[in-house]
Structure 1
Amino acid sequence: MFDEGIQKAESVSDEAERDVRGSMLRGWRRKCPNCGKGPMMSSYLRVRGTCPVCDERLDAHRADDGPAYLTILIVGHIMAPAIIWAFTTFRPEPMVLASVFTVGCVALSLYLLPRLKGAIVGLQWAKRMHGFRES
């Protein structure tokens, strides 16, 4: 019985390491972290149950609030200095400044959110986190 536990632990550690950077880049492109060909998303933010190309299980992810947090962090760090620079350099009307940067923030957020979710799912797949360890 003790030997079975050791053999099982050795088989888990002998599993091939997954390429973290590659799987995150495939996730950024919203493709399957395993094959890189099948689409990961079935809609804007909904992850498919399985990859239609390689049948890799994708529904085990636990991205939760991570993509939203990273999106807010990145958009804030890009737009805050940009709005200060635009205000001090051009001195636009407040409504013009607010309108332009509102559209910019929304557009950048909509662009980044699904890509960051894909990257986080790719990271979890590569590190065999949560339900990905069985596959």
Structure 2
Amino acid sequence: MIPDTLVPRDRWQAIGRGLQCRCPACGQGKLFGKFLKPVAQCAACGEDFTAQRADDFPPYLVILILGHVLAPIAVAVEINYHPPMWAFALTASLIVIVLALLMLQPVKGGVIGLQWAGRMGDFAA
């Protein structure tokens, strides 16, 4: 019999489940109890999530993704439409804030899924 610590975990499946804010182990239980607060353990399979250490990586990824996607769009809008500065700043700020808030929880779930699949940190036990 192979010990559980040697059984490989499907990394992409775990990340996908995390992006859906579901338990990376079973895909059934909710991963978050509050907006960015992971549950202590999965209600469906009992997987312990107190070991997760996502920290600053999810916001970094959200900033990286939004910056690379929205910067060319902002340049194209400025070149093609020349909106007033106040309207452009207001609209762009609102779009960035809304998209960042919408992306943050799924990205954190994906990072937790990656940590779980790779047995990073305390998930190795």
What TM-score range do you get, normalising by the shorter chain? over 0.9
Task: Tell me the equivalent position of 2:22.
Answer: 31
C-alpha RMSD over aligned residues: 1.4
Q: 1:22 aligns with which of 13, 25, 28?
A: 13
CA distance in 2, matches of 1:111, 1:38: 20
Aligned pairs, number: 124
Task: Tell me the equivalent position of 2:116.
Answer: 125
Larger RCO of the pair (alpha carbons < 8 Å, separation 6+): 2
Q: 1:68 aligns with which of 52, 59, 75?
A: 59
| 1:58 partnered with 2:49 | yes
CA distance in 1, matches of 2:84, 2:4: 62
Structure 1: stretches of 5+ with no match in the other structure: 1-9
Give 4+ residue runs of structure 1 displaced > 3 Å after superposition: 10-13
* Greater radius of gyration (CA): 1
> Offset at 1:67?
0.3
Identity of aligned residues (%): 35
- Structure 2 length-normalised TM: 0.94
Task: Tell me the equivalent position of 1:99.
Answer: 90
| 1:109 partnered with 2:90 | no
Structure 2: stretches of 5+ with no match in the other structure: none
